[in-house]
Structure 1
Amino acid sequence: MLVWAVTLPFDRNGRVLHLYSCFWAQLYFYVNPLWHLKVDGREHLPWRGPAVLVSNHESLGDILVLFGLYRPFKWVSKASNFKLPLIGWNMRLNRYVPLVRGDKTSIMKMMADCEYWLSRGVPILMFPEGTRSEDGVVKPFKDGAFALALKQRCPIIPVVLTGTARTLPKHGLVLETTARCHVQVMPPVDPSGFTDVASLREHVRNLIVSEKARIEALTPGA
């Protein structure tokens, strides 16, 4: 609340509060010597300017890990998360974007909110699978992120996560004692070379699947 109140007059897009939230989330890694996080390719992320970040999704731990990007963006997250104590309050102050899965009205509102932030030069981050993978296999992607990129003519930035399922599995209730998490930010994809949402969607999904397989082959057990 203090960071929000102090920075609001000069930081209308909430960049400072978001970066503070990044630090807050990273405390889980800083204080736990058995959790390790490696981030590669951070130079592909913009400090300013619209972009749509898309990541595979394996665990609730993905949220902690992706805050480690330390770059401004607005999360798209399921609406129920905004009701959680502390975390939900933080999400509301950050003006992240809520979504009720399967609700057409909520989906339309989410898309409008994302267009608003992109028009202000603030990137957004989405999980195009829509839900966490139970077995680590990348699920089919939904259209939303790619439709936004085409409409707003802004780059798609693929982000690949490995090792995060070991933090908190989909149906798990206990944090794993050890985890080696890796975030690989890939070069931006220019949507202008694609004529439709489906071709852009499948191109980006193939990039993520291939890069994930490459990383896991180099780091067995990831």
Structure 2
Amino acid sequence: MRIADKALGVYTYVEFGACVTALLPVIAASRLRHRADPTLRMPARWAQRVGRAASFLTPLWRVTIEGDVPPDISSKAYVVVANHESEADPFLLACLPWEMRWVVKEELFKIPVVGWAMNLAGEIPLRRGDGPSVRAMLTECERAIAVGMSVMIFPEGTLTKNRDHLAFRDGAFDLAIRTGAPVLPVAVSGTDAMLPRRSFWIGRGRGTARILEPIPTAHLTPDDVGTLRDRTRDVIVAARTELEAKRSGRPAPTQPRTENGSMRDHM
């Protein structure tokens, strides 16, 4: 990595901290002002603006959103799911033009300032592998969906390894079927260069999030969880493969490699 890019990476950390610190009082005030709103839509909107501002202010990143936004997403809840290739994914997905509550690993809430902002914005904690935590998370997601607020879940449960896709877990799809909320798949590509795995340094890269066609669940039953899960995974894998081929200038392979075999610029 060039010295100039390292310097810009340090700047990016500083400006992100500045964005969170500057907007934390605004998020807190919004939470207080809209405390009677069960959707927590306005605090969520301000929290996502942190990610958008941080993405916009770093010269190392360029973010692009592709695809059509569901026209009813401001009034109808969706279960939004995306592949997870980097810790930079939330910055990219924060640029999606709608509010949603995020399922976030519990340990992030312990980070000063950042954790406070997530708590005030109504993000939903999850302790992976802990049954009571998973059930509490799903209950809170159901409450959000019941009042018309979309939720954002990474169904792989953790970062992908070696650019491969992990198996999707059932939780998001069981939630969608039980609540009747459509699944909204989003394919993420390019963020592994923006914040590489196991690296302290922020890299130079272009991240793209492609909004895919919603998948209705109104007539599905619990027996359809696996089918819905696999269908969603298939469309995300295909779209991500296409995005990566487009970025590299190579034709997309007919069979994308997976681990388990199974715009708008600067919004």
TM-score w.r.t. the length of structure 1 is 0.93
C-alpha distance 69-199 of structure 1, shift in aligned 2 (>3 A): same
Partner SS state of residue 248, structure 2: coil
Task: Report the CA distance between 1:174 and its aligned residue.
Answer: 1.2
Task: Report the CA distance between 1:70 and its aligned residue.
Answer: 3.0
Over residues 156-177 of structure 1, what are the superposed CA-to-partner deviations in whole Å (9 max), with x where a residue is unaligned? 000000000112123121111x
| In the alignment, structure 1 residue 147 sits paired with structure 2 residue 174 | yes
Partners of 2:105 and 2:128 within 8 A in 1: yes
Q: Name which of 202, 217, 222 aligns with 2:245.
A: 217
In structure 2, the partner of 1:204 is 232
Aligned partner of 1:153: which letter? G
Task: Report the CA distance between 1:131 and its aligned residue.
Answer: 0.3
* Unmatched runs of 5 consecutive residues or more in structure 1: none
Among all aligned residue pairs of Structure 1 and Structure 2, give the percentage whose two residues are the same amino acid. 31
| In the alignment, structure 1 residue 37 sits paired with structure 2 residue 71 | no
| In the alignment, structure 1 residue 186 sits paired with structure 2 residue 212 | yes
* Unmatched runs of 5 consecutive residues or more in structure 2: 1-24, 251-267
C-alpha distance 128-33 of structure 1, shift in aligned 2 (>3 A): same
Partners of 1:40 and 1:183 within 8 A in 2: yes
Q: 1:83-98, aligned counterparts within 5 Å?
A: 83-98=110-125
Aligned partner of 2:234: which letter? N
In structure 2, distance between residues paired with 1:31 and 1:80:
26
C-alpha distance 106-221 of structure 1, shift in aligned 2 (>3 A): farther
Partner SS state of residue 92, structure 1: helix
Structure of greater Rg: 2
Over residues 76-126 of structure 1, what are the superposed CA-to-partner deviations in whole Å (9 max), with x where a residue is unaligned? 011001111111101100111111110011111111111111111100000
In structure 2, the partner of 1:5 is 29
In structure 1, the partner of 2:98 is 71
Partner SS state of residue 172, structure 1: coil
Q: 1:126-137, aligned counterparts within 5 Å?
A: 126-137=153-164
How many equivalent residue pairs?
Answer: 221
Partner SS state of residue 161, structure 1: strand
In structure 2, the partner of 1:14 is 40
In structure 1, distance between residues paired with 2:165 and 2:88:
16
Aligned partner of 1:34: which letter? L
Partners of 1:51 and 1:124 within 8 A in 2: yes
Aligned partner of 2:230: which letter? E
Partner SS state of residue 158, structure 1: strand
C-alpha distance 39-129 of structure 1, shift in aligned 2 (>3 A): same
Task: Report the CA distance between 1:139 and its aligned residue.
Answer: 0.7
Alignment RMSD, CA only?
1.8
Task: Report the CA distance between 1:5 and its aligned residue.
Answer: 2.4
Partners of 2:27 and 2:117 within 8 A in 1: no
In structure 2, distance between residues paired with 1:118 and 1:153:
9
